[in-house]
Each structure stands twice: as C-alpha cells, then as structure tokens.
Structure 1
Amino acid sequence: MLIAFLLTLVAGGATSIGAALGVMGRGTSPKLLAGGLGLSAGVMLFVSFVELLPEGAHVLSGGGEVTGHGTALAVLSFFVGIALIAVLDRLVPSSVSPHEFSGRMSGDEGVLRAPDEQAADRALRARLMRTGTVTAIALALHNVPEGFATFVAALQAPEVAIPVVAAIALHNIPEGLAVAVPVRRATGSRAKAFWLATMTGLAEPVGAVLGFVLLAPLLSGAGMGAILAGVAGVMVFVSLDELLPAAEETGEHHTVIYSLIAGMAVMALTLLVL
C-alpha cells in the first residue's frame, strides 16, 4: 500500500516539472510534447483495455471463468467511470484548459508590456491571475479521481504500475505549465507560480487517500472488480479527451501516432516480461 501511495505521489509530483518550465519562461518543443502525450495515451489505452477492464470482468465473475453477467457489470462500471470523470472535466473551463497549447510554444512568457500600456497591463495581470487561480482549483478537483485510479492500479497490478505512473506523470507536466505561466506573468513571482502549480498535482495523492478511506470496504471482491473497470473508463476518457487532442494541437500528427503505437508496444512488452 505504501508503494502504491508513493507511486501516486510521484505521478502527481510531475506537475512540478511543468511548473518549473513555466516559471523559467521556457517553451516546450512541440515534437517532444506530442511524443510524450502520445506515448502516455498509448500506455493508458492499452492497460485499460487489455489489463484493467478484463481483470475487472474476471473479479466480477467470481474469480473463475469470465461470465456474461460479470462482463456486463464490468462494462457498466467502465462507463460509470467515464461518466464521473466527464462530469469533473466540465469543471475545467475550455478557455483555460491545460490541454489547449496554442500560443504556448514561443517561450515569450517574459515579454514586458510597453510603458504607455500600463493600465492595460494591470488589467491583463488581473485576468491572468483569475485564470491561473481558476485553473488551479479546477485541476485540483480534476486530479482527485486520477490519483485514485493510479493508486488502485498500483494496488491491484504492480507490474503495470510503473508505466501507468509514467503516463500520468507526462500527462501532468502541461498542467503545471497551465497554472504556472499565467500566475507568474500576473504576479511576477516565480515562487508563487511554482507552488500553486505544484499544489494542483498534490491533489492526486490526496485523491488516493480519500478514495481509499471512503471506499476501503469495496477494495475486495466484486467491489474491486467494479473499481478496476471504472478506473479503466477514467483512463480511456483522459486519453481520448485530453492527451490525444492536446498532442494533435502541436501539429505533429505523425509523431503522435507513432508515439501512441510505441506506448502500446511498451506496455505490451512490459506485461509479457513481468
């Protein structure tokens, strides 16, 4: 259990990497970003459909041969997981989504406003501060189920935990950027921007703890089967709604596809070896 929590902490802590990039005012290579997000999506999609969903059906079938009833319950749980993460995802305003990368590649975060535009600059800073704050709050809520999903995956299938953690971690880097960049420009404080962005990532281990405390009685038997299938739904939604659209927005379509396939291959090889 401790290892599962530490892995969740590592995944959430990756937000600090994006925060550091944001406060340093450095852009992110579109090709590198596309490759990382595509790889993450491949890992998460493969582990969801090949490992978590089938395992959920197996557990819901009583631990023996998979039955139609167990499969039906797993599929229902899968879509319930999608529905839950979709509702939480609506809390993130599309205008400040961390998966909208337009205008973030130029590395011009440090450009100063001209002296005769000081009034406009103050208004801009106020808007940016609101944007950064709203984004931080929304992402913190959004990261809670991701943290629980990572935690459950690590508890149930340690052999797939590390690739899943790596995928979630890569997914969290742009979230750190999304919070740190506007807050840094609004306040001029690297420290405030860094720590506010980092705190959004720490919602993931908090989500793991809350989920475990609230759902501990269900973490065995049929309850665990339903949770595994639901976690698969969460991961599929995150991959299709966030990772792949964000990766495509970089303009590196072929890099995204090749990385997606590579992520699936890495996950398949990991499962075969372990």
Structure 2
Amino acid sequence: MEGVDISEGDAGFAMLLTLLAGLATTIGAAIAFCANTDDNRVFAICLGLAAGVMAYVSFSEILDMTNQSFQDANLTERSAFTFGTLTVFGGIVLAMLVEWIGMKIFHRHVREIDVVITDAPEPEAQDAATDKPLSTSERLNMLQMAAFSGIAVALHNFPEGIATFISTMADPSFGPAMAFAIAMHNIPEGLAVAAPIKKATGSKCKAFFWAFVSGLSEPLGGLLGWLVLKDVLGPATYAIFYGLTAGIMLHISFKKLLPTALKYDPNNSYTSYSFFAGMAVMATSLIAFRWA
C-alpha cells in the first residue's frame, strides 16, 4: 500500500465496487435459501463446498499474502516464511482458545453440549429426505460454527476492502476485475455463514442478515482505508492480520465444517467431492484474478 497515489481517484466508484464485492456474501445466503438444507445430503454438500473454499484460499492466497507482507516489512524471504507460518498456527491456536471459551459459555446453558459432535446418526437414517429435529446441543453447535465462519469471513474481507478501494482509486481500470474476483470467492464464504444458521434456526431472515453483516467488513475496510488506515497500517500489521485469518479459516474448515458435514453424510458419499469442488471454485476465481 505504500507509495500509492489515490488523490485523483473516484472515491464513489471505488466504494461502490468495494460494497458490491463484500455483499456477494448475500448471494451465498441466497443459495442457502434455495437449497433444502433440511436434506442431510444437501447440507453436507454446502458445508463441504464452504470448507474447500476456506482451506484453499488459506493455503494459497492468504498464506502467500502473509509471507509477501512480511517481506515488504524488510524481512528476508526465509524469515518472512518462518514468521508467516508461525502466525498461521497462531491463528489456529487463537481459534481453539475462542472455541474453548465458547464451549464454557454454552455449557452454562446446556449440559450436553459437545462442539465436536460424536453422536452421529446411523448411516441408514440418511436415506430419509429430512433429518430428525436438531437437539439443543446440535443447534448451538451450528450457531457457534456460523459465528466462527462469520468472524473469519469478516477478518478476511476487511483488508481486502482496503486493497480493493485503494487499488481502484489508484487505477480505476483495475478495480472491476479485482472486485469481481473477490466477489466470486465471497459467495461460498457467505454460504458458510448462512447454511448453519438456517439449519439451526429455520429462519432465512437470520441467515441472510448475518451473511450480510459478515460482508459489510469489506466496504468498512474500504472506508477506513480511505480515511485513515492507508497511512497508519504497515506491512507487518497486514502480515499478522492475514496470517491469523488463514489460521482461523483452517480451524473452521477442518475442525468445524468437515466434521459436521460428515456427521450428516457418514458414508462420505458427497462431502469429499464437494470439498474438492469448493477448492476448484476458489482456484478458478484466483486464476481469473491473475488473468484480469
């Protein structure tokens, strides 16, 4: 971000692109509306897709941005890689700590809560179109998973909002392509937030609202980038921000989304394939961004 001249840019156009990119999370919420998440197979596919997206973007784009930002902070390539790796694992530990605190809070209200669900239904029960009503502990697990996803998406979108806004101000011809690529991978991230909320509460409005809120961090990042942060935040701060976000996303993917998907798809008939499909979706959007 250093050395970028945005004084002559169109702030209104840059903010519009940033807003549209962030609110693509609501498209993911719309997919959750259309999908019958009461069908265990559909719900498992939704979670598998979201897990694939989060895992791929963490291991590829965000980890690369972490290492590059540390190098921009005048670290050697070897040191940047080391600190980048440590920061990612720091994000995983942070997510585990937050999860532990959340479990303690939930345990005060529900004795049987178990965030890592072990009472998976028998495979034969999965032939039914719909699942039995969720227990209180399962609903709380869904809501906690959605909360983790929302926090991770918001953390991820915030620096992206700054980057989209400032890049568009500096070069308006580059902005639309960048905003489109970001919007493409915000769609399944919105799905990761909305699907568990819809499953737990049955409310499309709540699912849409929280997917919408998670996307608002993108234009918020753009606004703050315009007003103050472009001259305050240095490369090292961005590196830590990206690394922690990658760690949180990896924790969500492998500790939350995939185990829950396999609970509703115990034969793994759909989860693995949807996970790889989610990776492919994210890879395609990143390739499109590189060629834009």
TM-score band w.r.t. shorter chain = 0.5 to 0.7
**In 1: Cα distance, 2:37 partner to 2:149 partner:** 25
Shift of 1:163: 3.9
Q: 1:35 aligns with which of 27, 33, 45?
A: 45
The 5 A counterparts of 1:88-107 are 88-90=98-100, 91=102, 93=106, 95=113, 106=130
**Partner of residue 147, structure 1:** 154
Deviations 1:91-113 (A, max 9, x none): 2648486999969962676xxxx
Deviations 1:7-61 (A, max 9, x none): 333326755765x579xxx653333332232222222212211211122112201
CA contact (8 A) 2:28 2:190 kept: yes
CA contact (8 A) 1:98 1:174 kept: no
Closer/same/farther in 2, CA of residues 37 and 230 from structure 1, 3 Å limit: same
**In 2: Cα distance, 1:135 partner to 1:30 partner:** 14
Q: Which amino acid aligns with 2:40?
A: P
CA contact (8 A) 2:53 2:188 kept: yes
The 5 A counterparts of 1:142-221 are 143-153=150-160, 155-156=162-163, 158=178, 160-181=181-202, 193-205=203-215, 216=229, 219-221=233-235
**Partner of residue 272, structure 1:** 287
**Partner of residue 239, structure 1:** 253
SS at the partner of 2:280? helix
**In 2: Cα distance, 1:141 partner to 1:271 partner:** 24
Deviations 1:224-256 (A, max 9, x none): 122122221121111111221122112251421
**In 1: Cα distance, 2:144 partner to 2:51 partner:** 24
**Partner of residue 72, structure 2:** 62
TM-score, with length taken from structure 2: 0.62
**In 2: Cα distance, 1:205 partner to 1:224 partner:** 19
Deviations 1:51-107 (A, max 9, x none): 111221122012789611111221122122223333333426484869999699626
Q: Percent identity?
A: 20
Closer/same/farther in 2, CA of residues 234 and 156 from structure 1, 3 Å limit: farther
Closer/same/farther in 2, CA of residues 133 and 31 from structure 1, 3 Å limit: closer
Q: 1:81 aligns with which of 87, 91, 97?
A: 91
Closer/same/farther in 2, CA of residues 134 and 203 from structure 1, 3 Å limit: farther
What residue ranges of structure 2 are gaps of 5+ in the alignment?
1-13, 107-111, 165-177
**In 2: Cα distance, 1:4 partner to 1:194 partner:** 25
Q: Which amino acid aligns with 1:147?
A: A
Q: 1:225 aligns with which of 239, 256, 263?
A: 239
Aligned residues: 241
What residue ranges of structure 1 are gaps of 5+ in the alignment?
110-126, 182-192
**In 1: Cα distance, 2:190 partner to 2:149 partner:** 15
Deviations 1:98-145 (A, max 9, x none): 999969962676xxxxxxxxxxxxxxxxx97x9979976995576234
Closer/same/farther in 2, CA of residues 259 and 131 from structure 1, 3 Å limit: closer
The 5 A counterparts of 1:3-22 are 3-11=17-25, 14-15=28-29, 18=32
**In 2: Cα distance, 1:155 partner to 1:38 partner:** 29
Closer/same/farther in 2, CA of residues 154 and 226 from structure 1, 3 Å limit: same
SS at the partner of 1:61? helix
Shift of 1:150: 2.8
Q: Which amino acid aligns with 1:180?
A: T
| Residue 47 (1) aligns with residue 57 (2) | yes
